[in-house]
Amino acid sequence: MTPDVRPLVAGNWKMNGTRECLTEIKAMAEGVQGALSEKVETLICPPATLIYVATALATDSPLQIGGQDCHQKASGAHTGDISAEMIADCFGTYVIVGHSERRTDHGETDHIVRDKAAAAHDAGLTAIVCIGETADQRDAYETLDVLKRQIFGSLPPGATAENTVIAYEPVWAIGTGLTPTATDIAVAHSFMRAELVEFFGDEGRRMRILYGGSVKPANAAELMAIDNVDGALIGGASLKAKDFLAIYGVYEGLTA
């Protein structure tokens, strides 16, 4: 972890979850409420249909609720999309932008992702900007080039340590049970840190860089101990309160 940076443990439910899953959100909200400290920030990004009810359930808890995507415009003729303002209107505080599934399924480019992050900032949300290489890019030793290109292409000029979080998610590690070695993660995160510092100065030093891709209770401690890993973006293991709280507990332990 980066010294003096408050880690973020964030869950991305993707297209999973109906109203009956709100019991999991309730259990998470209660589970983090009893924490000794608020040294660790927690967040769940459910499907858009659940954001409003989820924020109501988590009102008395430090658990925050966010969106999984937003449109780059505040309103208009964009059937099926939701704006950052709408997420903020539902009391969401974060939004994920540029997840690899959005980049692949919806053809989102760095340019679009940057506009979405700027829209999130305009609405007062913190943007979690996802970047990461594909298996082919890794095999061609292009990982660091890809990260550099995505960082500078996807971050708007107004990005600060408060309104922006980076999530490094190797595409080949998402939902596969595979993770890079600790050394590979350390190399990638220290590279991103250096790039962020070069571009954003002191803000870049404090900007959180999460790791995502097959994070689970069993590997959380090892991942979190790596320099410049300031939290986790968790897919599958964030659907159940038991697993999410176990990962959160590892962070609490490490920051105690």
Of 118 and 234, the one with the shorter C-beta distance to ligand PGA is 234
> Mapping DSSP to helix (H, G, I), strand (E, B) and coil, where does residue 240 land?
coil
Using CB under 6 A as the binding rule, whether residue 169 contacts ligand PGA is answered as: yes
> Mapping DSSP to helix (H, G, I), strand (E, B) and coil, where does residue 98 land?
coil
Select which of 99, 101, 189, 252 is catalytic.
99
The 8 Å CB, 24+ separation contacts for 192-199 are 192/147, 192/151, 192/166, 192/168, 192/228, 193/2, 193/228, 195/147, 195/148, 195/151, 195/152, 196/151, 196/166, 199/151, 199/152, 199/155
- What is the rounded distance in angstroms from the CA atom of residue 81 to the CA atom of residue 115? 15
CB under 8 Å to 34, separation ≥6 — which residues? Answer: none
| Nearest distance in Å: CB 32, ligand PGA | 19
Of 185 and 233, the one with the shorter C-beta distance to ligand PGA is 233
Q: Which secondary structure element, helix H or strand E, spans residue 104, and what is its range?
A: helix 100-105
Q: Could you give the string, one character per residue 59-98, with x where binding to ligand PGA holds by CB under 6 A and - elsewhere?
A: ----------------------------------------
Of 204-233, binders to ligand PGA (CB under 6 A) are: 212-215, 233
Using CB under 6 A as the binding rule, whether residue 12 contacts ligand PGA is answered as: yes
Concerning whether 169 is annotated as a catalytic residue, the answer is yes
- Supply 49's token pair: 């249909």
Of 7 and 200, the one with the shorter C-beta distance to ligand PGA is 7
Using CB under 6 A as the binding rule, whether residue 133 contacts ligand PGA is answered as: no
**Residues tagged active-site:** 99, 169
Q: Which residues of the shown chain bind ligand PGA in the complex (CB under 6 A)?
A: 12, 169, 174-175, 212-215, 233-237
